[in-house]
Amino acid sequence: MSSLIFIVIALAIGAALLWVLQEMVFRGKWSYFIYFLLAYLPIYITTLSIVYQATESSPLLTLFQLLKDLIVILGVLLFILYQKGIADYPFKLNAVDKSFLAFLSLAFLFLVLPIGDSAFSNKAIYFKNMLMPGLVYFLGRNTRFEDEEIGRIFKIIFVVAIGAFLVNLVENYLLGAHLQQYTGYALYNSAINDIEPSGNFGLSWTFETQAITKRLASFFSDPLELAASVLMGFAAGLIWLLTSRKEFSWPYILIMVFSLGSLVFSSSRAAFGAFFIMLFFLALVFRLYKLLAFGFFILVAFALYILFFASEDFYYFVLDTLTFENASSVGHLVEWLVALDSIIANPLGVGLAMSGNLGSVSDELRIGGENQFLIYGVQIGVLGLVLYILLLFFAITRTLKVFRTTENLMTARVAFTAASVKVGLLLPLFTANADLYVYVSWVSWWMVGYAMNEYSKTNDVKA
């Protein structure tokens, strides 16, 4: 059975890859790499698990692992190849460009300088994972799409959101189990990442609550990535709802409902908080007062449910979370304190691959790891932490400006979604190594880059 599933997955990915490569190489549409990422990144870890379960072939697994990186690198090479007079190509740097370049340049210094105890190979892998979102941003920054091409991007995002929820329904009501219990997730983690199965479902503790109820992940790597990723589906559905004629708006309401449903199935406290932060932020910024009232109603309804109708286990689960008495919350707090202690002791940084949950970070050297801001602060110092904060600040504020000023509806939709997702991810960044969620991270950085293309057109003064 696993072999059959592997063949189906391989054929589907192969067909998508061949179409994208044909468009990129033979028609010069290097920017079409984004379509492959949109389709492949949501099922990335599930694909790797199935590949290893069916074949136990490390070389084949490595090929599937590298697909996402190779398609981006090919996009960069083809961008250079298809530009006439690349030396004269007009690069007008804005605040996001400068922040990204400074952040990655600092990380590169930590790669080449003898700083830290990690092996150079581990540092190189870590730097590669920091560099790839920058390359995706760069390609988005130089992409010019027709409305139909942008529409295709949103259609894939909607399909992912709908598909994720439907798989959640199958997991919860038909299988009564996680999809990952059938895909070889535990075997893949044990053999490749040296992470032994844990928890009551033979996966990891991430897949269950403290009350030993299932946290579902659909076809994403874990419930936390699912929760972060559906924020993008909700934001995209919302902007299409607000900018479409009423008679054609019902599908976008459905997408928003499905995204909320997946958020519930994931049982991610950080993502729930992020959802409300994103909702109130959007309502205030765009003066969507009905949305503000809707969000407040949901919040009150949830509070009343917890107080009067929820089970005792769930009530104390929420209470312990808010009071930091929950084991997971305490774990976050401990990791933050360890990371802060390292930053205070070593404000210039201790070196790459010394913090976080990436596979190239060894357990013996890991310092902290459940706060994306502090992870960078530990590794590349206070300057790196400040640059990362500035990068996010400028990404949000500049995309908001594009949304307000552009006359192109599709560009406005991209800018809205990018700003919403970056705001929505702020809270998960405090509780996880959230840049590892490649689907929502890479795609949102592409969107920021695409919006910055428009920003440079409409702003003569460099910002």
Sketch the domain layout of the chain as residue ranges.
Answer: 1-89, 90-458
Q: How many CB atoms lie within 10 A of CB 248?
A: 10
pLDDT of residue 2: 64
Residue 220 has pLDDT above 70, yes or no: yes
pLDDT of residue 282: 76
pLDDT of residue 351: 93
d(CA 429, CA 296): 24
What's the whole-number mean pLDDT along residues 22-42? 95
Residue 32 DSSP code: G
CA angle 57, 59, 65 (to 5 degrees): 105
Max mean pLDDT range (296-310, 313-327, 398-412): 398-412
Strand-pairing partners, residue 160, are none
Residue 332 has pLDDT above 70, yes or no: no
With cut-offs at 50, 70 and 90, classify the pLDDT of residue 462: very low
What's the whole-number mean pLDDT along residues 315-338? 65
Give the range among 71-75, 181-185, 287-291, 334-338 with minimum mean pLDDT.
287-291
Give the side-chain half-sphere CA count within 13 A for 107. Answer: 27
Strand-pairing partners, residue 208, are 214
What's the whole-number mean pLDDT along residues 392-420? 94
pLDDT of residue 321: 59
- Type of residue found at 70: L
pLDDT one-digit tens code per residue, 132-174: 999 999 999 999 999 999 999 999 999 999 999 999 999 999 9
d(CA 448, CA 68): 19
Q: How many CB atoms lie within 10 A of CB 213?
A: 13
Closest CA to 373 of 417, 331, 329, 425: 425
Strand-pairing partners, residue 198, are 203
pLDDT of residue 169: 95
Q: What is the DSSP string of 142-191?
A: T----HHHHHHHHHHHHHHHHHHHHHHHIIIIIISS-THHHHTHHHHHHH
Tokens (6 digits) for 49: 């698990």
Give me the chain's average pLDDT, please: 87
Residue owning tokens 């972060």: 228
pLDDT one-digit tens code per residue, 37-95: 999 999 999 999 999 999 888 899 999 999 999 999 999 999 988 887 666 666 678 99
Q: How many CB atoms lie within 10 A of CB 333?
A: 12
d(CA 336, CA 342): 10
More confident residue, 131 or 281: 131
Residue 211 has pLDDT above 90, yes or no: no
For the CA atoms of 333, 337, 339, 345, the dihedral, rounded to the nearest 10 degrees, stands at 180
pLDDT one-digit tens code per residue, 276-307: 788 877 777 777 767 677 667 777 776 777 67
pLDDT of residue 461: 40
pLDDT of residue 463: 40
pLDDT of residue 191: 85
pLDDT of residue 315: 63
What's the whole-number mean pLDDT along residues 225-254? 89
Percent of the chain at pLDDT > 70 equals 89
More confident residue, 237 or 210: 237
With cut-offs at 50, 70 and 90, classify the pLDDT of residue 357: confident
User: What is the chain's Cα-based Rg?
Assistant: 22
Q: What is the DSSP string of 180-249?
A: HHHHTHHHHHHHHS----BTTTTB-GGGB-TTS-B---TTSSSHHHHHHHHHHHHHHHHHHHHTS-GGG-
